[in-house]
Amino acid sequence: MHIMEGFLPPAHALAWTVAAAPFVVIGGRTLARLAAERPEARLTLAAGAAFAFVLSALKLPSVTGSCSHPTGTGLGGILFGPSAMAVLGTVVLLFQALLLAHGGLTTLGANAFSMAIVGPWVAWSVYHGLKRLGAGPSVAVFAAAALGDLAAYGVTSLQLALAHPDALGGVGAAFAKFAGIFALTQVPLAIAEGLLTVVAITLRAPRLGPEAGR
């Protein structure tokens, strides 16, 4: 899911950075307020960031020489809310770019938009939507994490398609190609991430309180 350094044209990289910036700024305020009001939540926040760092650093070979991996951001989206996860996910991506050469600095905005913003928002929306419909906690968590993972990859496929449209079919054909490349490995990974997230949340007893899930 990480777009490598230099793979996006400068204008695209700048546009995605501008699009991601407001979410990160607002998320920073949410995260600061949560840490101030609930000091005991800081360890859980760090654990959520570590969960995302480890899972999203596990690169598994896909077809045509590309790679796929879990995102790990659905857990934080459910526990802390998508605003806080926008900051935590962006920090994770920054450290991965600097320490692991996984992703890049010029593409940080694009990667943050797909994995740290869209993924957590989808996970949060699915989780609370299913809970309102009466779904059990495990079902809601599994669907939220799995669909959040797939949403991030859908956005990445769109980002790549916009930057590198097909010569004949344009953006639509390019999107189908990029999404198809990832689908063979990403669908099983999304299912696995959903199951792992259920286990992680089941092992975590207390809620963060009224700020959790916002």
pLDDT value of residue 205: 45
DSSP for 102-155, please give it: -S-STTHHHHIIIIIIIHHHHHHHHHHHHHHTT--HHHHHHHHHHHHHHHHHHH
Residue-wise pLDDT tens digits, 85-99: 999 999 999 999 999
Element (H, E) at 68: strand 67-68
Q: What are phi and psi of 168, to 5 degrees?
A: -105, -45
Q: What top-level class would CATH report for the domain 10-202?
A: mainly alpha
Both ends of the chain: CA-CA distance in Å? 25
Give the confidence band of 11 by pLDDT, cuts at 50, 70, 90.
very high
The one-character DSSP state at 65 is: G
Mean pLDDT lowest among 35-39, 192-196, 207-211 = 207-211
How many angstroms separate the CA atoms of 207 and 211, rounded? Answer: 9
In sequence order, the 6+-apart residues with CB closer than 8 A to the CB of 90 are 20, 24, 108, 112, 116
Sort 173 into a burial class: Cβ within 10 Å, 0-12 / 13-18 / 19+: middle
pTM above 0.75, yes or no: yes
Question: What are the extents of the domains in the chain?
Answer: 10-202
pLDDT tens digits for range 120-156: 999 999 999 999 999 999 999 999 999 999 999 999 9
Rounded Cα distance, 124 and 144, in Å: 7
Distance (Å, whole) CA 63 – CA 185: 8
Amino acid at 31: L
The mean pLDDT of the chain is: 88
What are the DSSP calls for 12-62, one per residue?
HHHHHHHHHHHHHHHHHHHHHHHHHH-GGGHHHHHHHHHHHHHHHT--EE-
Report the 10 Å Cβ neighbour count for 128.
14
CB–CB of 89/112 below 8 Å? yes
Of 122, 161, 119, residue with least CA distance to 3:
161
